[in-house]
Structure 1
């Protein structure tokens, strides 16, 4: 495993791959979930990502399942001090806003942020969260209120590092500038949908934010920032015949990129999935893939990308496609 340090070297050291456990405890049963977590840590993985609403959309889901499972696993294995825990607040359903999700998500008011961390700490069975995200941008709440609430959590010691997910690039920059001007803790991690393929202009991912060129370039200029990529394997569509590329990637450039990806995979003897992960991790400013796997076999394939170094000419071929 390879490692890097968040927040420009001031945050926790994390593995170059992050294990996303969105379906664990709901559509992925506990035995399988524990087996994947065990293998991840055996391979040197330390970074695990969840949220306080995973997975409310599963049959009978409450949003507690993923955090609670991670808490049980850490207790049973004695792994809390060896696990960098990331979780999120803002997209849990609020019954007062109606019965349909995501229209009724809680948002990012100060009281929600404070109450969210209390619930997450309880479910995780810990006294701190290593990385806490504002889950989905909430433009109904003043940015100043949200930034101030997150900074309070760092000041009181319940959170180490701050991040945001599914936010516009300008909103990330504005929130960081506001915090910097007042000497407050600021977002240093951004988690967005991001992969080798590029979406067509104007593609709509709904509440999911894609890391466009503007955001990638902005993060590249900020010493303390890290980009984390979810959806990087497009739900298996790079390699599985039964999975289709999302329609948001439907444009002529996609086939050119897929062709280059297949060529590089053939030249390296790696799978297309492994090449995509290596392309992310080997960027000028490394991107941390948040793995969405549901079996040990899928994890094993992803782990094979850690030692895959793309030669400059192969990376150039991928970038030029």
Structure 2
């Protein structure tokens, strides 16, 4: 049986890998998105992550496509009580930034698209330096008080602003950030480990890293000298051309072969073994991409394997 991880701030247990919804309505059609969501929950998964801006960048999209697909799926499956839904505010084309009025309006739109009366975890997607942290937290606190949001969290925030936000919440008795969603994986380590991890550990924040597979690079499907047929090509290319990238892939390949598992499973298992990490995010565009993600939930790396991966990625 998969070991769920306690997320005490919400009073629930979450699956060790959160299903990223950024591909829903972008590179995954509504029908394929439903199949992935069905398979993830059938395997015991219960933690779905999205954002109001997904996927405004795609031609013909306006933002909110992912939330809308998830909302339709929740309504059709009648399983809202069985899943933890996280979404985000600040990057939707019609609701940019974190002014209090923007947060309030964006939350209403997210609730409507998700077809639910509450959001389990509501992130500030990108910090807005033009708005004092006091105003941001007060606006989020109102949503919690109204019962529209269960808990609040932050992504893409500086250590200074995170600390200031937590201090204001403690001082004023407001809702506080209970979780953090940083950019963190085997290829992106320094900023989180040196600047944000100490804060997460000190304040007992749950941590849900995004780009856990480095835009697909850590799945091993992209190799030097081979053409990249993917919307993620720009992100993958920056890793492929480095000696460090070659070292990491070679180490993952060796461990995956020895343990008879997927490279992506190894990369996610490394994250799960790191201090402070609760559940990394990973997205699946098709059903075929889901097994390595699910396998990570029950996979333990040995000490020497963890050391080898950490050394290769340093």
On the 8 A contact 1:11/1:161 being kept in 2, the answer is no
Secondary structure of the residue that 1:130 maps to in structure 2?
strand
Q: How far apart, in 1, do the equivalents of 2:288 and 2:112 lie?
A: 31
Q: Which residue of 1 aligns with 2:200?
A: 219
For normalisation by structure 1, the TM-score amounts to: 0.87
| 1:54-105 deviation line (CA, Å, top 9, x unaligned) | 11111211112111111110111111111111011110114xxxxxxxxxx6
Distance 1:65 1:44 in 2: 25
- Partner deviation per Cα, 1:237-290 (whole Å, 9 max, x = no partner): 231134464527865544443333333223322222110111112223334111
Which residue is equivalent to 2:139?
A: 149
2:296 maps to what in 1?
305
Corresponding residue number in structure 2 for 1:85: 85
Alignment of 1:14-163 (within 5 A): 14-94=14-94, 106-163=96-153
Query: Pairwise CA RMSD of aligned residues?
Result: 2.0
Match of 1:275 in 2: 266
- Residue 260 (structure 1) aligned with residue 251 (structure 2): yes
Gap change, CA 1:287 and 1:152, over 3 Å in 2: same
Equivalent residues of 2:210, 2:281 under 8 A apart: yes
Unaligned runs of 5+ in 2: none
Query: Is 2:175 aligned against 1:233?
Result: no
> Does residue 166 of the first structure (1) align with residue 156 of the second (2)?
yes
Q: Measure, in 1, the Cα distance between the counterparts of 2:292 and 2:188.
A: 23
Q: How many residues align?
A: 300
Does structure 1 residue 181 correspond to structure 2 residue 161?
no
The alpha-carbon deviation at position 9 of structure 1 amounts to 4.9
- Matched with 1:5 is 6
- Work out the CA distance in 1 between the residues paired with 2:114 and 2:298: 32
> Which of 260-269 and 153-162 deviates more?
260-269
Moved more, 254-263 or 84-93: 254-263
Cα distance, 1:34 vs structure 2: 0.4
Q: Which moved more, 1:34-43 or 1:296-305?
A: 296-305
**Deviation larger for 262-271 or 107-116:** 262-271
Shift of 1:187: 0.8
More helix by proportion, 1 or 2? 2
Task: After TM superposition, give the deviation of residue 10 of structure 1 in Å.
Answer: 4.7
Unpaired runs of 5+ in structure 1? 95-104, 202-209
Quick check: 37-46 or 261-270, which moved more? 261-270
Q: CA deviation at 1:299?
A: 0.8
The verdict on how the C-alpha distance between 1:190 and 1:267 changes in structure 2, with shifts beyond 3 A counting, is same
